[in-house]
Amino acid sequence: MAITVQAIESKEFKIKRLNGYDPEDVDIFLDEICDFIIALQEEKARLQAQLNAQAMATPVVPAPYPYTQNAAPVPPPFTPEKKEEPAEKENTAEAAQKLLARAQKVYDDTIAEAKREAAQILSGAKQHNSLQDLEEEKAELEAEIDMLKAAARDYRNRFLRLVEDQQHVLNSEKALFDEA
């Protein structure tokens, strides 16, 4: 899938848990990415137009003057040679090419960084989900522990009553066990 500004702007994330990422923060971040990509695309288009204009401005060599049968050839008009201008044009074209290449690299790096950040966000969300699952399991185990403690207290109390009842029986039937 190609990542475009429209794809980023139209992307909707599902909310699975209450304690997930703030949707407004995610939307703001995605809007910032879109703005940056748009700026890069505009810069790329401007540089491409500048490069095209530079290519169009390259002087065209006129066709040789036609010779007539009875006339001597007419020389082309005198134009002084400018040795620095072609080098300057080459430097400008080179600079435009380098700038365009840098803009493309920044664009590619930005997309790669956005993908890395998206992967981190997803990883964080997965960890968050697993933390929530662990919290739920912890709550369940704590409830089970409380239930077992209550059962143990109940058993202990019943056992103590049984022992007290036996003690009472033994005390009331003292005559049976007294030595004569």
Q: What is the pLDDT along the chain (180 residues), one digit of tens a residue?
A: 567 878 778 877 777 666 777 778 888 888 888 888 888 889 889 998 888 888 787 665 555 544 445 555 555 555 555 555 555 556 777 777 788 888 888 888 888 888 888 888 887 777 777 778 888 889 999 999 999 999 999 999 999 999 998 888 877 777 666 665
Inter-residue contact 105 to 43 (CB < 8 Å): no
CA distance 42 to 35: 11
Spatial CB neighbours of 110, under 8 Å, sequence gap ≥ 6: 33, 36, 37, 40
What's the distance, Cα to Cα, between the start and end of the chain in Å? 103
Angle between helices 23-56 and 84-172 (to 10 degrees): 170
User: Quick one: pLDDT at residue 180?
Assistant: 53
Q: Which pTM was predicted?
A: 0.30
